[in-house]
Structure 1
């Protein structure tokens, strides 16, 4: 039996789309820990460390703030690969719902700030919570203030990403965003 051309095209497009959604493996070899550590603080170092494990990933994130105080260069809301898919979707929905006004999330959740100065990472304690999840309890100083927070991490494909940010005395970031976008 011969399959009509449009049906074959649709099947190929569907398979290609599903492959993209499932996170096809990256054919490039993963950088070694030494290679990631050799990169200057910034997105390339964060992406390389995200392949190594949760602790190198978190340390690379905060190294950017300690190096220049500016944090990571912003990407379009909802499209930042340091965040997991669900958190990215929530950030994007918050931005879209704001309709050109200031969104709820108008600060950098990694440092819990809009500005960083005299930034120093004090400690990182990573605890595995599952085969693809971990929590990183972080203590840092920013502008002379000691801050404590926990980054919930998820491994999506080969990369570790931030899935939530927990600050003592506040609801988790994902809960706050859900209230705004719901």
Structure 2
């Protein structure tokens, strides 16, 4: 399964029939392309799917994949492609949840904050706080996007989950690399 659950891809496809003035007035995808030169704007664009909205749409497996070019670094995109190649037809390969919200059900999710910390000339960490107000008690998650600027555009190079919760997870790249090695070993037997 190609990671194709990003909101921006859906919005970009919706723009195909719009005029330039309609795009500017109605589409958060325009905001992404015009303002994604900053890490903050890029990360916020991952959650913007409608005017004023900050939730990631649920993935509908009955609908064809919507590719979202440009959100993953070359390294991470290659790992995602490798997980897909190792997956069984009709089943999830590596991803069983949306990596952008670290969830399977984003209903009621709100992006509460984005804090960007430069980590190098072409690198930055963007820590997001997500909240599901409909959950009782209110559920809150924190994760950090390790970003890299490739070809003048910010991309996700890794995702580090909050390690203080009940189920700490390895960073995305580390976990995918381990999964690939384990899956190759299992298939070689």
TM-score w.r.t. length of structure 2: 0.66
Separation (CA, whole Å) in 2 of partners of 1:119 and 1:151 = 18
Contact 2:28–2:45 (8 Å) recurs in 1: yes
Contact 2:55 2:110 in 1 (8 A): no
**Per-residue deviation, residues 118-176 of structure 1 (Å, max 9, x unmatched):** 12111110000001000001101135321110000000011001111110221000011
The number of residues matched between the two structures is 143
CA contact (8 A) 2:48 2:56 kept: no
Find the structure with the greater CA-based Rg. Answer: 1
Partner of 2:28: 41
CA shift, 1:38, in A, is 5.6
Partner of 1:157: 151
Where in structure 2 are there 5+ consecutive unaligned residues?
1-22, 163-167, 182-189
Taking the aligned partners of 2:118 and 2:92, their CA distance within structure 1 comes to: 36
Residues 64, 71 of structure 1: 8 Å contact kept: no
Deviation at 1:114, TM superposition (A): 2.3
- Tell me the alpha carbon deviations over residues 45-97 of structure 1, each in whole angstroms, 9 at most, x when there is no partner: 333332x2101111111223835641699535xx7311111111111111110
1:115 aligns to 2:105 (yes or no): yes
Greater helix content:
1
Structure-2 separation of matches of 1:47 and 1:90: 25
The residue aligned with 1:9 is: none
Q: Which runs of 5+ in 1 are unaligned?
A: 1-35
Q: What residue in structure 1 maps to residue 47 of structure 2?
A: 62
Kindly report the root-mean-square deviation, in angstroms, between the aligned alpha carbons of the 2 structures: 2.6
Distance in 1, matches of 2:120 and 2:59, equals 28
Tell me the equivalent position of 2:117.
Answer: 127
Cα 1:150/1:49, change in 2 over 3 Å: same
Range that drifts further, 58-67 or 118-127? 58-67
Would the alpha carbon gap of residues 158 and 110 (structure 1) be closer, same or farther in structure 2, given more than 3 Å must change? Answer: same
